[in-house]
Structure 1
Amino acid sequence: MEYRQHNQPGCGGCLLLLVVLALVTGGAPALLNLLGFIFYSGLAGILLLVGAFWAFTYYVRRRVSTYEATQSESHNRFVILLVNILVKIAQADGHFTRPELNAILNFFQYQLRYNQDQMYWVKQLVKEARENTTDLRQLLEEFRTGFAYEPRLILLELIYQIIYTKQPPPQNELLLAREIAGLLQISVYDQRTIEAKYMYRQRQEAATSGQVEEQYYAVLGLEKGAEFAEIKKAYRKLSMQYHPDKVGHLGEEFKKIAEEKMKEINVAYGYFEKKFAGR
């Protein structure tokens, strides 16, 4: 026999019992008093809920406004455009699902380590972005003309991070990321470097030593077997592009993204430096 858990009883029977009791003890006037009490108590409860909701909304908006006021215009503009672009990517198939919303929120909370006030802000931005009728191309054009090459690289890095939170990454979103790189006027070399890094990172846990070396080549944007002169040239170029000082005006969280990228570049270069030094 299938077991079914019993739910807690409702209060409908209790209410009926109160009505009968009021009629028996006090007649119609007592019943009217009881119904009036129930009505006004319910109305007061509704008003309290509405008031609590309004107070919380006011509190959130005030915290959001205070946080925005403490940040630079470049930082706020960068994040607003970033959120709008991520939402448009999620809406590319005509839907914006709960998992896609969670992926964006989790990215800010866990990857960028946003605190409660920052998350209130991001949630508000996501809500506004979902209602924004500006198309993706316009947003990317605004981003391209408003920011230098290095912040555009950071944007593409973040887009790939979001895409690779889904396993396997959707092919249509990978194709869209490549199109976005073109619209941002990011070189094919740099786009392939970023994509290859995330592709190899996905396989990292089960990687052999040969695959790890292949990943290091990918981090530097090189094909396997490149000579040390090419490795050194690629390292110098990437070190200049991802220097944290070049994106410091965007805020500490994006400076940290650049610092993490620099760590990866340094690890890859250090591996090849040791390898070729032994020859």
Structure 2
Amino acid sequence: MEYRRHEQPGCGGCFLLLLLLIFLSGGAPLLFEFLGLLVFIVLFLVLSSIAAFWAFTYYVKRQVSAYEKSQTETHNTFVSLLVNILVKIAQVDGKVTRDEVKTIRHFFQYNLRYSQNQLFWIKELIKEALASTVSLDSLLQEFRQKFAYEPRLILLELIYQVLYSNEAVSQAEMQLAENIGNYLGISAYDQRSIAAKYKAGFRTAARAEEVSEDKYYAILGLEPGAGFADIKAAYRKLSMQYHPDKVGHLGEEFKKVAEEKMKEINNAYEFLKKKYGQ
């Protein structure tokens, strides 16, 4: 039998003993004076906490308002719809967990490199989105009406980024992403180009070299072994669609997303060019 040390006794009755000593040494007036001081301290701490919370909330709202005013209406609308759509995707199973909200916040913090003031804004947008009763179909319809084809491609790219930031992506989530692409009017080729890249990145295989080569084809929306003429045509098409200037009006962070996409497209094309000796 393992020996267990006995814990030191607590002092649950120490406060009562203190009150008794005060009463015996100074009588009732001193006791009431002590209790009054105690009540004052408690009230002061409670009110101070409320005041600090109000001051922080006021500061956050001012920062959010100032940031919104510094951005274009197009940028604010794009981000607002993006957040609402991401929250609706998280609600597909009927509830939103803390981890899902955390994933959305981390996406803006690490993928889009948002500052603290920008994250305050995102937190407010998430809160509003969680309370919103607007359907996903209505949000997608609004997005399609307000934005051209290239911003819609960026939206779908970002949706896949968020989905694949989790350890596992369910079949239901993949199907929902495909449905969103269809609703936005994104061609089957472009959807395949976006989705296949992430699937190839997650796939495990015996030889990493094979996975890498498949991924380059996937980035260009092609099946492994496609001819160089198809590779060249795909490269030209994607280079036009993802040119950063076509999404620059959305904001610098989304222009950078397009730039990163262009780097991937260029790297894939250069790799396959060398393979075909071009």
**TM-score, normalising length from structure 2?**
0.94
Per the alignment, residue 224 of structure 2 pairs with: 224
Q: Superposition RMSD on alpha carbons, in Å?
A: 2.1
- Matches of 1:19 and 1:113, distance apart in 2: 56
Cα displacement (A) at 1:18 = 2.5
- Matches of 1:223 and 1:179, distance apart in 2: 22
Aligned residue type for 2:192 = R
- Matches of 1:183 and 1:132, distance apart in 2: 21
- Matches of 1:45 and 1:95, distance apart in 2: 36
Q: Is the 8 A contact 1:222 1:231 kept in 2?
A: yes
Cα displacement (A) at 1:103 = 0.6
Cα displacement (A) at 1:206 = 6.5
Q: How does 1:27-176 map to 2 (within 5 A)?
A: 27-176=27-176
Task: From the superposition, tell whether residues 161 and 94 of structure 1 become closer, same or farther in structure 2 (CA, over 3 Å).
Answer: same
Cα displacement (A) at 1:194 = 0.6
- Matches of 2:66 and 2:139, distance apart in 1: 26
- Matches of 1:241 and 1:96, distance apart in 2: 34
- 2:190 is the alignment partner of 1:190: yes
Further displaced range: 45-54 or 35-44: 35-44
Task: From the superposition, tell whether residues 276 and 120 of structure 1 become closer, same or farther in structure 2 (CA, over 3 Å).
Answer: same
Q: Is the 8 A contact 2:103 2:162 kept in 1?
A: yes
Cα displacement (A) at 1:167 = 1.8
Spell out, residue by residue over 1:52-94, the C-alpha distance to the aligned partner (whole angstroms, 9 max, x if none). Answer: 0000000000011111111111111100000000000001101
Gaps of 5+ in 2: none
- Matches of 1:261 and 1:87, distance apart in 2: 24
Task: From the superposition, tell whether residues 267 and 204 of structure 1 become closer, same or farther in structure 2 (CA, over 3 Å).
Answer: farther
Gaps of 5+ in 1: none
Cα displacement (A) at 1:205 = 9.0
Cα displacement (A) at 1:46 = 0.8
State the secondary structure of the residue aligned to 2:276. helix
Further displaced range: 262-271 or 159-168: 159-168
Task: From the superposition, tell whether residues 8 and 257 of structure 1 become closer, same or farther in structure 2 (CA, over 3 Å).
Answer: farther
Identity %: 58
Q: Is the 8 A contact 2:90 2:96 kept in 1?
A: yes
Cα displacement (A) at 1:5 = 11
- Matches of 2:269 and 2:22, distance apart in 1: 85
State the secondary structure of the residue aligned to 1:79. helix
Q: Is the 8 A contact 2:205 2:211 kept in 1?
A: no
Cα displacement (A) at 1:15 = 2.5
- Matches of 1:47 and 1:113, distance apart in 2: 37
Aligned residue type for 2:92 = A
Q: Is the 8 A contact 2:193 2:218 kept in 1?
A: yes
- Matches of 2:114 and 2:275, distance apart in 1: 39
**TM-score, normalising length from structure 1?**
0.94
